[in-house]
Amino acid sequence: MDKIAVQAPATTANLGPGFDCLGMALDIFNELTVEHGPFCISVEGEGAGQIDATENNLVFRAMARVFNRVEKPIPELTLTCRNRIPLARGLGSSAAAIASGLVAANGLLGKPLGLDELVQLGAKMEGHADNVAPALLGGCQLVVQEAGRYVSFPVPVPLGLRAVLFIPDFAMSTAHARKVLPASVTRGDAVFNVGRAALLTMGLSAGKLDYLRVGTQDRLHQPARQSIFPAMGSIFQAALEAGALGSFLSGAGSTILAFTEGESMSGAIGQAMQTAAARLGVHGRVAAARPTALGTHAVPATA
Ligand code: HSE
């Protein structure tokens, strides 16, 4: 194949209590076009002028992993990235970059690797699989590590479930947001999260949306991350008071996600989050997204 285009979805990880284990694909897509030609990486949209365009580029590194894995030299390639996923906002922009590179390289090579192998490669690059698994596979994925491999289980998503995103103007680095986490947790906090993660997956699987309010609560990572983003708790509260089903920090932040059913409450929930944030000096924009069953997939190459 000479030219290939793929789209990779945004993802929200953790969903509150499922730290490093749960993630869901959202219908905001980055598009990558790859063709044989002189080495060049161009970026349009989110991250334009900011993203590394050398061989250290994350998309290119993911492609190189696939070529290395099948022991083939990487050819000269021209990459065009059309990005819609905001960077460093907890919406899985790195996972989308990795997933798009993996799937495009695998496609160019005639698909020698299965999706499971791509999940392993992607998770090794990220260090955890809760963004990369849903970015590759779509839907909501529960990922566990067993005998050195990541194993992914799809969690059904109720049809009417929608996400309202408050995307702050400030970035949060995942590395920094992981450094502030305590090395150990109390048994009480562990029990708190185990119960809620189970309740959340049960609520999603059974379509019991009223389980999400308690099921999205967390004591493993959000309380510590509040030190970097003090307004977080007030924004969760504002979303819930405006009728959200549940609210949490998306991945390692800074986006705050509120779940709602259908579209009717989205505007009010977004407005409530934005107003509560502004009162505490945090500015940002609101966006609506739908969970998507689409993982990283090929699209007709137009560029
Ligand atoms: N589970 C990860 C974290 C997601 O919360 O640090 C980061 O992308």
Condensed to tens digits (0 to 9), the pLDDT of residues 177-192 reads 999 999 999 999 999 9
* Nearest atom in ligand 1 to 19's CA: 1
* Nearest atom of ligand 1 to the alpha carbon of 181: 6
**Single-letter residue type at 74:** I
Give which of 127, 76, 106, 141 is closest to 294, Cα–Cα: 141
- Angstrom CA distances, 82 to 19, 32, 46, 85, stand at 29, 6, 8, 9
- Domains, the chain, ranges and CATH? 3-156 (3.30.230.10), 161-289 (3.30.70.890)
| 3-state SS assignment for residue 289 | strand
Separation of CA 252 and ligand 1 centre (Å): 5
pLDDT digits (tens, 9 = 90+) for 77-111: 999 999 999 999 999 999 999 999 999 999 999 99
- Could you tell me which of 291, 300, 179 has the C-alpha nearest to residue 228? 179
Q: Is the pLDDT of residue 162 over 70?
A: yes
Q: Give the C-alpha separation, 292 to 139, whole Å.
A: 6
- Beta carbon of 252 within 6 Å of any ligand 1 atom: yes
Q: Output the pLDDT for position 301.
A: 85
- The shares of helix, strand and coil residues in the chain, as percent rounded to the nearest 5, are 35, 25, 40
* Ligand 1 centroid to residue 190 C-alpha, Å: 17
pTM, entire model: 0.96
At 118, the pLDDT band (50, 70, 90 cuts) reads very high
Residue 5: predicted pLDDT: 98
Cβ–ligand 1 contact at 251 (below 6 Å): yes
Mean pLDDT score, 135-155:
97
pLDDT score at 303: 53
Please say if the pLDDT value at position 302 is more than 90.
no
